[in-house]
Amino acid sequence: MNSKRRVVVTGLGAVSPLGLNVQETWKGLLEGRSGIGAVTRFDIKGYPSQIAGEVKNFQLDQWVAKKEQKKMDTFIHYAMAAGKMAMADSGLTVNEENADRVGVIVSAGIGGLPGIEEQHSIILNRGPTRVSPFFIPMVIPNLAAGHLGIEIGARGPNLCITTACSTGAHSIGEAMRYIRDDICDAVVAGGSESVICPLALGGFASMRALSTRNSEPTRASRPFDKDRDGFVLGEGGGIMVLESLETAQKRGARIYCEIVGYGLNCDAYHMTNPSEGGTGAAKCMAMAIKDAGMNPEQIDYVNAHGTSTGAGDVAETLALKLAFKDAAKKIWISSTKSMTGHLLGAAGGLEAVISVLSLRDNAVPPTINLENPDAQCDLDYVPNTAREKRMTAVLSNSFGFGGTNATLIFKRGP
């Protein structure tokens, strides 16, 4: 166990294709319900992939003042909602006494791509003088953390860590380090993303990365299944409040669990493909397990990166076998992307929240649509139905383009 300060989770916030808060999202996951459907935001005629996990019926007025809304692209809206939920859940108050010791590390993998599309159309059709004066701060990724920091009055470190699909997990892992190293007493950390727009859907489709099971959207995301044909784009946000154990106990906070392990590395292999044999991801998990002062046998559940891509799911399976050795066959593993789609920069944040809830309720969400398992993916992926068992520690994986990897471990708290 690291001898530095212990770090605990005291607040959770989420916006997802399954619900507008933590409770709705968690309920949908345990029910094995898909949040994926046909894209409704724009005319999808001609797009190879026409499905996504959209956030539905989002109540922006509930989270952002009307005069501020046009200054933010949608990924910031989701960050404000999930961040304010997490703060309210934690009961943490930022005041003159502690403001310099409260940080915000909330990040996006891409940022305001829909806003860029919209303003590009304006400049082409109406000229440069009609571009919004809020355009730049509306779309740059660090303004999610910036706006949230302003909103809650946090004067500590304010950062955006953009590492593709590992973004949310890296943000939480680095937040843990800031508290361990006594730079902060509390950090609001996680990820947000909203790029269900023509360029993103067209770009990922051109890479042949997306599922084209357009006639059956709820069955399209099928990690570890032989018939998977790509991931499904999702959106939303997952944010948590981390605090030092001492700070949380001093104010009598409700503690969900402790965050005890963090691993990060790079495959240094390929721009978009995982390293052969899953070696990079395996080393990342081993690093997190060592950081936690644990053995592989002590991990009860893995929330897999599990994107539903051909190479990715096989590589993660091989990585799990390398990292967990004999224990790999016994551990429960699931991919909640089967229900939410892939939230890109928000995935690691939302899946960290899900991992904490799994510990709280001793419940493991299923991997839905796992009907015909790939012979190369031969571990226990909790197919189609949630399970319950007493758990002590859970691990969450996030892997991104560029070969960047992140692993987090949460343990039942003091």
Q: What are phi and psi of 121, to 5 degrees?
A: -65, -40
For this structure, is 342 an active site residue? Answer: yes
Q: Is residue 398 within 8 Å of residue 352, measured between CB atoms?
A: no
> What stretches of 68-160 adopt beta strand conformation (E)?
102-107, 158-159
Buried b (16+ CB within 10 A) or exposed e, 55-79: beebeeeebbeeebeebbbbbbbbb
Q: Which residues contact 255 (CB under 8 A, 6 or more apart)?
A: 8, 9, 10, 245, 248, 249, 413, 414
SS3 state of residue 285: helix
Largest CA distance in the chain: 64
Please compute Rg for the chain using Cα positions: 20
- Give the H or E element holding residue 23: helix 22-31
- E strands in 297-349: 301-303, 332-334
- Nearest by Cα to 99 from 147, 142, 157, 143: 157
Q: Choose, from 77, 147, 170, 305, the residue flagged as catalytic.
A: 305
CA atoms within 13 A on the CB side of 13: 28
Q: Report the C-alpha gap between 372 and 390 in whole angstroms.
A: 28
Alpha-carbon span 38 to 41, nearest angstrom? 9
- Considering the candidates 160, 165, 184, 284, report the single residue annotated as catalytic: 165
The token pair that represents 314 in the structure block: 């096989």
Choose, from 77, 147, 170, 342, the residue flagged as catalytic: 342
Rounded-to-integer distance, Cα 147 and Cα 127, Å: 29
Asked if 81 contacts 238 with a C-beta cutoff of 8 angstroms, the reply is no
Report DSSP letters for 198-252, one per residue: HHHHHHHHHTT-B---TT-GGGT--TTBTT---B-BB-EEEEEEEEEHHHHHHTT
SS3 88: helix
Amino acid type, 330: K
Active site residues: 165, 305, 342
